[in-house]
Amino acid sequence: MASGEEEGGVDEKETNNKKRTKGAIATAWLTVYNIAMTAGWLVLAVAMLRYYLQKGSHKGLYRNIAKTLKFFQTFALLEVGHCAIGIVRTSVIVTGVQVCSRIFMVWFITNSIRQVQNEESVILFVVVWTVTEITRYSFYTFNLLNHLPYFIKWARYNMFIVMYPLGVVGELLTIHAALPYVRRSGMYSLRLPNKYNVSFDYYYFLIIVMLSYIPLFPQLYFHMLRQRRRVLHGEIIVEKDE
């Protein structure tokens, strides 16, 4: 099949120039974004390590890092936008599920239910997220700069095999630990009768969220396994949802 450049029309040259300009702006933005995110998660890693070395306990660690975690995890919403406008070749759905589930954990579980903040499971998922994101964002940064060390590429496409299930275990145990407090307090729930004539029970909603990991997590995990085969072993993969 002949490429656009081989045909060499004036219109096509202009289109290619436009693509290059858009590409340069997008690349510059993504580089800045990825550097900022790598730095943010590195700050979190250092803060967690310092806290643990000073106090010798994980109690109070979450409160200590909560603001930074909320800021950088919420900022990751931009990634859904990156996919939607097409500056990264990733599925909006896959990225959306990943980012929204994290934001949900941060804002609607650990931030809202203080009683779970000292659970070991919170530390588990926060540490797993931190290690994963430092690797992921440095991978994107070095890749964009065309200077990608093999060990970062290797780490990006191998660590998730263990990290993903560990993160999910941490998240599910945390939601499970939150259930009694949610039931007792009736938080975020709407009981009948009320003027809207609608009822909502956050307790049962959380159970549905936990159950939704069963169909959704394997899809994210298999997506990453496909990415791994494509990047590390050069396999050509056709994604269904893109």
Ligand X SMILES: CCCCCCCCCCCCC/C=C/C(=O)SCCNC(=O)CCNC(=O)[C@H](O)C(C)(C)COP(=O)(O)OP(=O)(O)OC[C@H]1O[C@@H](n2cnc3c(N)ncnc32)[C@H](O)[C@@H]1OP(=O)(O)O
Q: Which residues are catalytic?
A: 164, 171
In the shown chain, the binding pattern of residues 60 to 79 toward ligand X, with x for contact by CB under 6 A and - for none, equals -------------------x
Among 52, 154, 181, 213, binds ligand X (CB under 6 A): 213
Nearest approach in angstroms of CB 151 to ligand X is: 16
Listed residue (206, 216, 191) closest to 112, CA to CA: 206
Specify the stretch interacting with ligand X by CB under 6 A; choose among 10-18, 48-56, 85-93, 116-124. Answer: 85-93
CA angle 87, 89, 90 (to 5 degrees): 115
> Using CB under 6 A as the criterion, what x/- string covers residues 98-137 for binding ligand X?
x-xx--x-----------------------xx--x---x-
Q: Shortest approach of ligand X to residue 193 CB, angstroms?
A: 27
Choices 2-10, 50-58, 66-74, 166-174; region in contact with ligand X by CB under 6 A:
166-174
Residues 10-69 close enough to bind ligand X by CB under 6 A:
30, 34
Contact 123, 62 (CB under 8 A): yes
- Of all residues in the shown chain, the one whose CB is closest to ligand X is 167
Binding site for ligand X (CB under 6 A): 30, 34, 79, 88-90, 94-95, 97-98, 100-101, 104, 128-129, 132, 136, 140, 143-144, 160, 163-164, 167-168, 171, 209, 212-213, 216-217, 220, 223-224, 227
